[in-house]
């Protein structure tokens, strides 16, 4: 992933991209989580991590935190109510912390035109979220024995009676990468104003 020196060499159109366009794109996709995806094979297939990752990488200032706030947390006010979940539950707090770490990972990487860097960042985001949440579940859930074998169970099969953790990881990796690449592709379709002015001047 890129450091601050590498980011300075990225094309200017990635940095000067209209923040309103990126914000709107992230929010609209974020609310797509309301779509009913009941197939067991799509467990945890979600744009959530990609939204935090891309918002951190491609937006600055108020736009960067407002996009995931509107796309995820506002919609979660409705989703969590329907699930009977409490925002102050320990697992929810750990989940929010994981989101913020993914956001910070995007901030560290910054805007990039390199598919390899974007792919690495997206996969790292999903893996980071998986390790933190599964490890916390192992530590807090009495269904797991507090041994290495119990941790291994939490990271692979998960709690009996629920979808296995490896399915959670697989779909999280795939969806975060897919949505991150989609966001990057969509962002690249909208030229920034300076580029549009150059094109206009060349054709007049």
Task: Name which of 78-92, 102-116, 161-175, 181-195 the model is least confident about.
Answer: 78-92
Residue 197 is predicted with a pLDDT of 44
Q: How many beta carbons lie within 10 A of that of residue 55, not counting itself?
A: 28
Query: What are the domain boundaries of the chain?
Result: 4-202
pTM: 0.76
Residue 188 is predicted with a pLDDT of 81
Neighbouring residues of 197: CB distance < 8 A, sequence distance ≥ 6: none
């Amino acid at each position: 992933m890129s450091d601050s020196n590498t980011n300075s060499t990225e094309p200017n159109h990635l940095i000067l991209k209209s923040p309103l366009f990126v914000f709107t794109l992230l929010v609209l996709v974020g609310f797509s989580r309301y779509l009913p995806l009941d197939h067991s094979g799509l467990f945890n297939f979600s744009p959530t991590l990609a939204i935090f990752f891309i918002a951190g990488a491609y937006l600055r200032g108020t736009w960067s935190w407002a996009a995931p706030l509107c796309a995820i947390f506002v919609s979660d006010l409705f989703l969590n109510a329907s699930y009977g979940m409490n925002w102050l539950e320990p697992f929810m707090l750990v989940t929010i912390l994981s989101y913020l770490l993914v956001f910070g990972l995007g901030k560290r990487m910054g805007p990039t035109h390199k598919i390899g860097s974007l792919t690495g960042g997206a996969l790292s985001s999903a893996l980071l979220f998986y390790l933190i949440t599964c490890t916390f579940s192992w530590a807090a859930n009495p269904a797991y024995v507090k041994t290495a074998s119990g941790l291994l169970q939490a990271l692979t099969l998960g709690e009996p009676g629920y979808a296995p953790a490896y399915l959670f990881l697989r779909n999280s990796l795939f969806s975060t990468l897919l949505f991150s690449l989609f966001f990057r592709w969509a962002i690249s379709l909208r030229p920034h104003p300076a580029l549009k002015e150059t094109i206009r001047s060349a054709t007049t």
